[in-house]
Amino acid sequence: MKRSILWFRGKDLRLADHEGVQRALNSDQVIPVFVLDSYFFEPERAQELPHRMQYLLESLRELEQTIAACGSELIVLSGRSIDVIPKLAERWHVDEVIAQGWTEAFGRQRDQIIASRLKCDLTLVTGETLIMPGTIRTQTGSSYSVFTPFWKRFLAQAEINAPLPLPNALPPLPQGVRGTGERIPELSDLGITKNPDLIAAGVTPAWERLHTFLNGPAARYSSARNRPDKEGTSRLGPDLKFGTLSARQVYAEASRAELKAQTGAFRRQIIWREFAHDLMWNHPELLREPFRKKFIGFPWTGTEDHWQAWVHGMTGYPIVDAASRQLLATGFIPNRARMITASFLTKHLLIDYRRGEAHFMKWLTDGDWIQNNFGWQWSAGCGCDAQPYFRVFNPILQGKKFDPTGAYVRQWVPEIRDLPKRFVHTPWMAEKSLFDDDYPDPIVDHAAARARFLTHAKSYLSGS
């Protein structure tokens, strides 16, 4: 008689294509568990990630129902997982704890602690990425730090298995376990107000998003993905982050023969996600420090006033302000606008990328330690395969090129909604009477800020 704990932990909120679920099917008895870690009993921590919390709790509720439909029950318990899991395993006389492995160092350390405290096996399955991070290697066995060769090697070498099916039923719970869990908290229990403008959470909406994308915008993805004014991308970020869809399910759907020609650029982005995970696997220190070691100790001398202006979308540059406001309102920013605003914060305002990174982690629904860190280091010029530090995005030209009619900035910066097209990215050049005078003049002059950054960076990097 084999008894297992099937431990779901926030990056794998589904039953289909879950290696752990498949493994659990070999046990006679299985106890599905979710641990409400400190975020749930320290509401002030939960309030630090209101949008992700909303997505997580809604998806967890759906998972609970799916597990119930399979004849089992999700046992939800609160406490620190490093304490709770070993205690439960002992109390329930479990032979194996099964969970999906995490890439980040803090997840790996947590699992080492748990493994050392367990009196049974901890089996970590893959599933966060298409293939196990750390397995794509150069001919000489080292890891990659440039995307294109990684991508080529990935296409040549990676064996991506077909997604696993949804089980019809789960093995029974042992006697006495049913009904011993807690209820999943409501957002209001955590002092968080539901944001109605967030994307719908859970497996069902995630599949709908995937199919809507593949049946429409996917065909125009390579050009539209750079256009914040178009709904041109999949919006699957939170689904991939919380694992309501696996990367393998997304990749397989996008690779179906009739779609293949249209989805090459999209699948390439999924492999960027693999690259970011691979990099973090090989360089766990990246959550603390830049990839380019010359940037350790870089003097980010920006001011608090500028930080506040950036956070609240009041820099006077419409495309930067649109991104900041869209983030707070909806938990999402299109990739191009993320790059522009991150570049502006770090280079025009000389504010530490880690501050921007933390702000994005607070508000993005797809806020992901690995991809967010990767995006910020890329934008600041201190990352791996990054935008060179001396390439400073011009927020006016970026706006004109990627939001040519100003539809994006008009939506998020209503003060300038009625400006003629030629002024919509440069409102300070228009008659004041043409727009709401609450909208500020630029807090920095683009040319002067660019020159300041370049001088500052050159002088620091040549001396360090």
Ligand X SMILES: Cc1cc2nc3c(=O)[nH]c(=O)nc-3n(C[C@H](O)[C@H](O)[C@H](O)COP(=O)(O)OP(=O)(O)OC[C@H]3O[C@@H](n4cnc5c(N)ncnc54)[C@H](O)[C@@H]3O)c2cc1C
Which residues contact ligand X by CB under 6 A?
225, 233-237, 240-241, 269-270, 272-273, 276, 334-335, 338-339, 342, 360, 364, 366-368, 371-372, 374-376, 379
Among 315, 307, 321, residue whose Cα is nearest residue 413: 321
Is 305 exposed, middle or buried, given 0-12, 13-18 or 19+ CB atoms closer than 10 A?
Answer: exposed
Among 345, 321, 280, 340, residue whose Cα is nearest residue 438: 321
Rank residues 37 and 368 by Cβ distance to ligand X and give the closer one. Answer: 368
Rank residues 40 and 376 by Cβ distance to ligand X and give the closer one. Answer: 376
Q: Least distance (Å) from ligand X to the CB of residue 379?
A: 5
CA distances from 280 to 288, 294, 364, 383, 428 (A): 11, 19, 20, 12, 42
Residue 434 · residue 419 · CB < 8 Å: yes
Q: Least distance (Å) from ligand X to the CB of residue 354?
A: 12
Which position has the token pair 């935008």?
387
Q: Least distance (Å) from ligand X to the CB of residue 190?
A: 21
Is 289 exposed, middle or buried, given 0-12, 13-18 or 19+ CB atoms closer than 10 A?
Answer: middle
Residue 170 · residue 72 · CB < 8 Å: yes
Q: Least distance (Å) from ligand X to the CB of residue 374?
A: 6
Rank residues 370 and 409 by Cβ distance to ligand X and give the closer one. Answer: 370
Residue 352 structure tokens: 């530490």
Which position has the token pair 């570049």?
343
Rank residues 251 and 439 by Cβ distance to ligand X and give the closer one. Answer: 251
Rank residues 3 and 209 by Cβ distance to ligand X and give the closer one. Answer: 209
Q: Least distance (Å) from ligand X to the CB of residue 343?
A: 9
Rank residues 290 and 375 by Cβ distance to ligand X and give the closer one. Answer: 375
Name the residue number minimizing CB distance to ligand X. 375
Q: Least distance (Å) from ligand X to the CB of residue 265?
A: 9
Is 412 exposed, middle or buried, given 0-12, 13-18 or 19+ CB atoms closer than 10 A?
Answer: buried
